[in-house]
Structure 1
Amino acid sequence: MASLRVVRRMFCAAADTVAAPAPSSRWERLKKSKAGVWCRGLASDYKEACKEIFVGAWERPVKASAYLSLLGGAWACLYTKPDQSSFEAALLDCSGQLGLLSPWIRNATSDGHVQSLVKLQNDGRLRHISLGLLSLVYRADYNPDVTLYEAQCSNLSVPWRELPERILDVGFVGHWWILDSKMKDYDVNEGEFKHLPAHMQATSPPSVQEVEKSERLHKESWLALTMEDEEKDTNVVDRKQESVSEDSPVEALKQEQTQA
């Protein structure tokens, strides 16, 4: 009986080994694992989301165009956002432009604003912060390298509610707008015209007719004189000389009568 049991077990084991499937590959085991199932589900969700986006854009083109315009504008603002080095370069450029002018010609507003920024930069009190689509430059109370307790203590730092009062410039779409506005007419000293009457302090731009007349006269001034114009000029000169010669005897008689 025992031998029969052993033989039966041997035949059952052989049958199980034949019926058992071949071991799956590593890729199949990875797909059937928890991580593989989660990745497949995630890919399926993204596929359905992209399909819904394209179907919605086809059904509502105006709304899709508005969303694309907003995304494109946000990307352009993010790509052209100025940084701290660009502000330093712009400040150096403005300072150089003002340095080429005489103090009597500089605009007081432009000169004062640039000089204050240069002083803060030399003191190390200019700070730059990026807010995604735009950049801000503001002033701080101390240089970060100063070892004073007031400068190093975080509890005594500038609160966020005071940041709008300390903003010095706003960088957006590749420009520093406050610096550009302050540098407008930087070579015009308004103090030179404060003693003039009110109607002479402000000048209105010329009209189209005045501009056309000035351009026409300027072009005519470069034209060569013709022979007819030269003859007219010589005739006028001769007539003036003849009139002077005819009047000369009469003037001599008048002088003699006055002397007598």
Structure 2
Amino acid sequence: MLRSLAKTSARVPNLGSKVKFPARLKGTIVEKWADYWKNLFIDYKQMLIDLRNDIQDEPKKAFKWTVGLGMLYLLGKNNPDELDFKDNLKRIGNDIVMVSEPCQNPKSIEHLRFLETCYNAGVIHYSNLGIASIMYTSELNDSCDLYKSQCKYLQPSYFSFPSRIVDVGFMGRWWNIYIKTSNYDVN
């Protein structure tokens, strides 16, 4: 691929000198449009040539960048969403129902009841951060129209936000619900 790029870079200047506009199109928007695309192609061609030279000069650095960008892409691709959270919550709830009440872990049951209460009240929210996701609670429902929900002095501070985080989704899994309900049948 790098060799074909080098051959292409030699052909482009010759192609630009061979293409001539008729006299009636000179100075019109068509010529300006063609010049724009020609200059854009030349800029990208030069960028790819510089990239090729950088890769050849420092292959370890290029490998590190490639692995890092690949990992960011995979983390973003495997980032769980709110539907995954709800599905996980329902699946674990169905599994816990099959266990007799004396054998259930009280901490798991308490956490699931808290999440169900938050969903019923409409105070649980989802936020996508690109490579990770968070589920957090607010004090009031979005449809609530009380004075407390509109007054900026009564809004929660940014410092209280970490305490309102319910779960963190990363690498295709919601970790808090996984940790708190992994031993749901152990009392």
TM range (shorter): 0.7 to 0.9
Q: 1:9: which partner in 2?
A: none
CA distance in 1, matches of 2:163, 2:181: 21
Code of the aligned partner of 1:40: K
Q: 1:49: which partner in 2?
A: 47
Q: 2:171: which partner in 1?
A: 173
Q: Give the alignment's Cα RMSD to 1 decimal.
A: 2.2
Deviation at 1:182, TM superposition (A): 0.7
Deviation at 1:136, TM superposition (A): 0.5
Code of the aligned partner of 1:26: L
CA distance in 2, matches of 1:23, 1:93: 70
CA distance in 2, matches of 1:155, 1:50: 53
5+ residue gaps, structure 2: 1-20
Aligned length: 167
Deviation at 1:29, TM superposition (A): 4.0
Q: Find 1:96's aligned residue among 94, 97, 100.
A: 94
5+ residue gaps, structure 1: 1-21, 190-260
- Write the deviation string for residues 159-184 of structure 1: whole angstroms up to 9, x where unpaired: 32221111110011110011111112
Deviation at 1:45, TM superposition (A): 2.0
- Write the deviation string for residues 42-97 of structure 1: whole angstroms up to 9, x where unpaired: 33222111111122112222211111111111111111111111111111111111
Q: 1:70: which partner in 2?
A: 68
| Aligned-residue identity in percent | 28
SS at match of 1:186: coil
SS at match of 1:73: helix
Q: TM-score, normalised by structure 1?
A: 0.59
Q: Deviating runs (4+, > 6 A) in structure 1?
A: none
1:126 and 2:124 equivalent? yes
Give the alignment of 1:190-229 within 5 angstroms.
none
Give the alignment of 1:1-260 within 5 angstroms.
24-26=23-25, 29-30=28-29, 32-33=31-32, 36-189=34-187
How has the CA–CA distance of structure 1 residues 156 and 45 changed in structure 2, closer, same or farther, with 3 Å as cutoff? farther
CA distance in 2, matches of 1:164, 1:39: 49
Deviation at 1:158, TM superposition (A): 2.7
SS at match of 1:136: strand
Q: TM-score, normalised by structure 2?
A: 0.80
- Write the deviation string for residues 222-250 of structure 1: whole angstroms up to 9, x where unpaired: xxxxxxxxxxxxxxxxxxxxxxxxxxxxx
CA distance in 2, matches of 1:156, 1:42: 52
Is the radius of gyration larger for structure 1 or structure 2? 1
Q: 1:251: which partner in 2?
A: none
How has the CA–CA distance of structure 1 residues 26 and 176 changed in structure 2, closer, same or farther, with 3 Å as cutoff? same
